[in-house]
Copies of this chain bind each other. A is one copy, B any other.
């Protein structure tokens, strides 16, 4: 059964989380949970595996391509292979084979599963849920881009009230505050306003999606870049110019790196400026919604962060109303985003349920926090390594449990070895126990133990029954 040279690395785009890294992940997740809970959101989890019928057609063509699909098994695989039909080369295209050989896939985001859950169960009318789980996308892996990554979502279903938008935005801003983020921006826009601006610029319906994608890149490729891309996508120059004028004139966007040159700042001023150029009722309604939303956000902890960003488009997903994104200074891309999606639950054909949500990406938060030294000292490992010499292993086990019963995180050196070697191990990489406890014959006979702070060298002999309290003093750097 020996198989030399099996790779022991995780597959491409996958990661192992060793204890120190996992401690940082768990630290962030615990804060996210606490803050979302305080904002009245309930936890939900959905399965890793979903039917492809649930997933396909929800994420655009590129999304469908990036889905992980599970190969059919046993009889189902046999049937699929037979169904592929008379042997010929025609069916041998990935598309046809994919369709025949898989009918389940891996969760691609947390929003579509939520929509399925809302369609399936009797839930509270206003279902406020948070969900923190991994998703899988077979994207080309790159720096900071993984194929398995965690999303932390909050959503509210069942209401068209803008209070729901304000609540998800405030919850996300409060998470970021709790994690120590300060100068971030909550960029807001509205899908219908984007559509109306394009209409006002004379861009026809057929070019809308293409224009959306180009505009969405403003923060990456700049004004000139967007104009080039609009031209490349076949949008007439004067329409492109008009659209860029609307977006830039409104002074709405002040995202990092794009200087503001004209007009008064602030989202209200931007909305007032753009209103003059919008005539269609849907666009005006979108403006009114954004104005109301700004008012609600200003009453919440999200207030200082709000920024109208008329170039924000949020890809081609399922959004129907207000859209949001979190931008952090000196970081390309966003920490998360969201928006209103009133039609997604209805796509399951059971009931129409409006919804709004916000998703933040755990990996990006971790990268920024790490780079900027935002983590507190996190203690993961044992607080104490129990070292022993000349006593029976049974006694060692018994003492270890006496110490654990006093609440200490205790590791036992598992083998007979010289004391120096054991103490050295306490300080080894990946162990780093701040304290050692030494149990020898004399200590045992007296019902005592020697506690040693490995950093300060401070040491003391105490009754085993009192070791918990003494250890805590030493851990805090005190003298005993």
Contacts and interface: CB of A to CB of B under 8 A. Distances in A.
Contacts of A53: 3, 6-7
Interface residues of A, number: 128
A163 B425 contact: no
B43 A380 contact: yes
Contacts of A75: 94
A296 B129 contact: no
A196 B407 CA distance: 42
A366 interface: no
Contacts of A285: none
Given A47-B10, A92-B81, A2 B414 contact: no
Contacts of A129: 19
A2 B347 contact: yes
A5 to B, nearest CB: 5
A300 B71 contact: no
A87 interface: yes
A69 to B, nearest CB: 4
B73 A138 contact: yes
A409 interface: yes
Contact of A430 (B77, B94, B123): B123
B49 A77 contact: no
Contacts of A382: 40
Copies in the complex: 2
Interface string A49-72: 111011001000000010011110
Nearest to A93: B78
B48 A431 contact: no
Given A69-B71, A98-B71, A412-B163, A104 B380 contact: no
B121 A39 contact: no
A39 B381 CA distance: 10
A281 interface: no
A117 interface: yes
A89 interface: yes
Nearest to A36: B409
Given A57-B1, A393-B163, A414-B156, A7 B51 contact: yes
A120 interface: yes
A148 B25 CA distance: 23
Interface stretch (A164-172, A179-187, A270-278): A164-172
A81 to B, nearest CB: 5
Contacts of A106: 48, 70
B414 A120 contact: no
A120 B123 CA distance: 46
A98 B69 CA distance: 13
A115 to B, nearest CB: 9
A396 B74 CA distance: 58
A134 interface: yes
Contact of A71 (B101, B292, B409): B101
A377 interface: no
Nearest to A295: B394
Interface stretch (A215-223, A307-315, A397-405, A441-449): A397-405
Contacts of A87: 87-89
Given A2-B346, A128-B411, A407-B38, A300 B401 contact: yes
Nearest to A25: B45
Contacts of A123: 18, 430
Interface string A439-474: 000000000000000000000000000000000000
A90 to B, nearest CB: 10
Top 9 nearest A-B pairs by Cβ distance? A87-B87, A40-B411, A4-B349, A14-B47, A19-B42, A8-B120, A299-B394, A40-B382, A124-B430
